[in-house]
């Protein structure tokens, strides 16, 4: 059974303090690993798609990487506006997504 | 970019009321849409897959008679929570996949349903 586990559950950082969020997964045939950002009371906002081990993608202060067992979302010099819940998800057959529990990130000014 | 619109954003109603939530793809067609449910501080749980022109596919444990799904056109799916009770209170979110294989899902902004 495909599974996605995210850690930590919650993370508090000071502005400018870089860190990484982890997404461990088990899947029979990876079709795509997705990172989303979700603000309170909103739907998830797409950030990245990773398809194969070794792949990396960047957007502003965020960088996503992928190995055969896990993905990391690195955040460099974060700002308070980066505070959100970050969700990792796998594609199952027929485009269905399986989500991890998310990491609630808080950046203190 | 692709946009999914969900309406209403918030509903407060009495127990026993049926509530309809709409999900529209604004600038693209979607033969498939997905409905999720999210409880506070929890992740999204897939409820069902909405298929244009055919019956929806429900995940295990989701009551199809409680959560009626209709995908009437290539840009509209509706979720009706029938005879809602307080335990149905939750955040309901829809999504539609972008065009092309393994494209990311695009999500609506969700509907906060509160049953009194």
Question: For residue A106, what are the contacts with CB-CB under 8 A and spacing of at least 6?
Answer: A10, A11, A12, A13, A83
Other CB atoms within 10 A of residue B19 CB? 19
| Residue of chain A nearest B112, judged by CA positions | A41
- Residue A39: its pLDDT value, please? 95
Confidence of residue A43 (pLDDT cuts 50, 70, 90): very high
The string of pLDDT tens digits covering residues B34-59 is 999 999 888 999 999 999 988 999 99
Per-residue pLDDT for A82 more than 80?
A: yes
Using a CB-CB distance cutoff of 8 angstroms, which residues of chain A are in contact with residue B10? none
Residue B38: both structure tokens together: 């999210």
Using a CB-CB distance cutoff of 8 angstroms, which residues of chain B are in contact with residue A42? 109-110
Give A77→chain B minimum CA distance, Å: 26
The string of pLDDT tens digits covering residues B93-102 is 999 987 776 6
Per-residue pLDDT for A24 more than 70?
A: yes
- Residue A94: its pLDDT value, please? 64
Q: Nearest by CB to B102, which of A36, A91, A98?
A: A91
Per-residue pLDDT for A96 more than 90?
A: no
Q: What angle do CA A84, A98, B3 make, to 5 degrees?
A: 60
Q: What is the mean pLDDT of residues A15-33?
A: 92
Would you say A100 and A89 are in contact if contact means Cβ atoms under 8 Å apart? yes
Q: Is A42 exposed, middle or buried (0-12, 13-18, 19+ CB in 10 A)?
A: middle
Residue A65: both structure tokens together: 């990487």
Give A95→chain B minimum CA distance, Å: 7
- Residue B72: its pLDDT value, please? 85
């Amino acid at each position: 059974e495909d599974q996605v586990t995210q850690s930590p559950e919650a993370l508090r950082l000071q502005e400018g303090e870089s860190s990484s969020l982890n997404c461990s997964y088990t899947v029979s045939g990876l079709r795509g690993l997705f990172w989303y950002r979700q603000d309170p009371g909103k739907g998830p906002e797409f950030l990245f798609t990773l398809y194969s081990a070794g792949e990396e993608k960047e957007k502003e202060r965020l960088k996503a990487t992928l190995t055969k067992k896990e993905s990391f979302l690195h955040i460099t010099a974060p700002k308070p506006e980066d505070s959100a819940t970050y969700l990792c998800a796998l594609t199952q057959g027929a485009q269905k997504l399986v989500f991890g529990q998310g990491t609630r990130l808080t950046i203190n000014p | 970019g692709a946009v999914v619109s969900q309406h209403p954003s918030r509903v407060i109603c009495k127990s026993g009321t049926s509530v309809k939530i709409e999900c529209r793809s604004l600038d693209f067609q979607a033969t498939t849409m997905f409905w999720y449910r999210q409880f506070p501080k929890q992740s999204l749980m897939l409820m069902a897959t909405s298929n244009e022109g055919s019956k929806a596919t429900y995940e295990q444990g989701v009551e199809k008679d409680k959560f009626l799904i209709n995908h009437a056109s290539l840009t509209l799916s509706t979720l009706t929570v029938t005879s809602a009770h307080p335990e149905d209170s939750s955040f309901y979110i829809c999504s539609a996949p972008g065009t092309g294989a393994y494209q990311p899902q695009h999500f609506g902004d969700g509907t906060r349903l509160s049953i009194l």
